[in-house]
Structure 1
Amino acid sequence: MKKIGFVGVGIMGKSMVRNLMKAGYELHIYARTKAKVEDVIAEGAMFHETVGDCAANVDAMISIVGYPKDVEKVYFGENGILDSAKEGTYVIDMTTSSPNLAKRIYEAAKEKGLHAMDAPVTGGDTGAKNGTLSILVGGDREDYEACHKIFEAMGTNINYEGGPGCGQHTKMANQIMIAGALSGVCEALSYAKAQGLDLQVLLDSVATGAAGSKQLDAFGEKIIHGDFAPGFFMKHFIKDMNLAVEEADDKGLDLKVLKQVLANYRTLEEDYGDLGTQTLIKFYE
């Protein structure tokens, strides 16, 4: 496979496209607003006017868009990926989306002779930029193995999670862990501030002990310095937690911590949805 198609050239996607080009792949891209991707076009990516035209010209088609409704549109919509990709094409949705939608795409793709995988990622904009994403792959194992080199261009922790939808279920578990960990960071910093502690000294003191976490490393200093720039949009994290609650409820699980963190985020979404997940600290302020 030499030709890769890509839709969703945003904060994460742009870095992923660049890393695929660095690995020697010929990149074909689609974006609703061409002006926003002129930089990667100048670097060698080939622009297509429609998703379908992009999908029709590649060996593997990758999507990483915003919401399940966007996934639905690019796969099942008019001139979408499933209608346009040639037989034998690998179609890889890397959006964090619905496990049930991932299964629908897999079944529809199979009927058309396509190989579908759900492969959501974790690692944020830094992982995308550095090519160190964790990639969580659901689908057929032989398809996972066939595309492993493609995944290696974008990530370093690449795992086969199981059949269709299992990549998405793994990402749900990941987001549930983050919800608890990041809310813990925000509550601890709120407590320390109220007690008059030096927040930088606090971070230096606890980061390497039992309270240390990836969330503390990524966002502790950003929070104390008021840096709310998005590495991952709050509004997208809210979408992910909503999906996780729905999937948990479907199994009769009552995930109280997740539901509380989601409720806290929802109070902020209207004013801060386009900022980063660390903006949860605003709830405590």
Structure 2
Amino acid sequence: MANEVKNVAFIGLGIMGLPMAKNLLKAGFNVTGYNRSQGKIDELVEAGGNGATSVADAVKDADVIITMVPDSPDVAGVVRGEDGVFANAKKGAYWVDNSSIRPDVTAELSKEAVEAGIRPVDAPVSGGEPGAIDGVLSIMCGGEQADFDAVKPVLEAMGKTIVLVGPAGSGQTVKAANQLIVAGNIQLLAEAIVFLEAYGVDTNAALNVLGGGLAGSKVLDQKGQKMLDRSFEPGFRLELHHKDMGIVTSAAREAGVILPLGAVAAQLVAATVAEGHGGLDHSGLLKIVEQLSGRDK
């Protein structure tokens, strides 16, 4: 643990945030958590952390402040204002945003952080709930090299693959690309499963052999059985992937980049959410394939 980094404030103790905060505790950091629902704060306290009554309360003594909230407006709401991070954190503290938000918003908020005397690192994560629990997340970071180096011990308590990919906002850009790839993989896996089931194939055996060849992927490993079991308890909710696909398609349009398959995947994610399945795991994309094939149960 870096000597200057002992106290960590963790804001946003959701499906991903709570296990990430618990891993920080296991690594020996002093963690103070804040969440909109008290129950999650209580869980952190039971694990050995401290609870805060507000964002301002959480960040006042923190060396590193981590935010892990759903969307761009949520992050802005947490860091801005008289009760926010920028107004209440001590000068020189580091702000690590593990949320997945728009790159342009990240760049704007990072500039505001620097003006407030806070050192920002955008650090969105990939690996879902299992990765958060096991502490093996992939963390793509944007910011200054010195700031990245300072917070890396904190990130290493939560992740396995941790890379600085460029200046402020770059982490969010790479995360958008990650979500593009993941959505496409999930959609094709769903199509393959519906196709296999239509022919009465032993799907468990089929996924086993597919996983050993070029079709193998972490998506197949983590989501294949969930699809076969129609078990869609959220590790990462479809509504959040819908948000992320909006980010990547918008950013691609601004850059003049064409994403033909990505656009289709984004529409299928949107359709699944529109059908009322936004609270399901993103493996729930299987439902829209079944529906389009007339095989929904």
TM-score normalised over the length of structure 2:
0.94
CA-CA distance at 1:70 after TM superposition: 0.4
Matched, 1:52 2:56: yes
Inter-partner Cα distance in structure 2 for 1:260 and 1:268? 12
- The counterpart of 1:272, out of the listed 270, 277, 280, is 277
Uncovered stretches (5+) of structure 2, i.e. residues with no partner? 291-297
- The counterpart of 2:147, out of the listed 143, 149, 154, is 143
Partner of 1:77: 81
Partner of 2:266: 262
SS in 2 for 1:268: helix
Query: Is the deviation greater in 157-166 or in 76-85?
Result: 76-85
Structure 1 runs of 4+ aligned residues shifted over 6 Å read none
Partner of 1:117: 121
CA-CA distance at 1:86 after TM superposition: 1.1
Partner of 2:295: none
Partner of 2:156: 152
Partner of 2:294: none
Let me know the Cα RMSD of the aligned residues. 1.0
Could you tell me which amino acid in structure 2 is paired with residue 63 of structure 1?
T
Inter-partner Cα distance in structure 2 for 1:16 and 1:210? 32
- The counterpart of 1:65, out of the listed 69, 75, 97, is 69
Inter-partner Cα distance in structure 2 for 1:159 and 1:16? 18
CA-CA distance at 1:43 after TM superposition: 2.1
Matched, 1:93 2:97: yes
Inter-partner Cα distance in structure 2 for 1:239 and 1:78? 28
Inter-partner Cα distance in structure 2 for 1:181 and 1:145? 33
Partner of 2:225: 221
1:41-62 deviation per Cα after TM superposition (whole angstroms, max 9, x unaligned)? 1222111111122111211100
CA-CA distance at 1:214 after TM superposition: 0.9
Inter-partner Cα distance in structure 1 for 2:268 and 2:81? 34
Inter-partner Cα distance in structure 2 for 1:225 and 1:202? 15
Inter-partner Cα distance in structure 1 for 2:67 and 2:151? 14
CA-CA distance at 1:30 after TM superposition: 0.9
Matched, 1:27 2:53: no
SS in 2 for 1:11: coil
CA-CA distance at 1:22 after TM superposition: 0.6
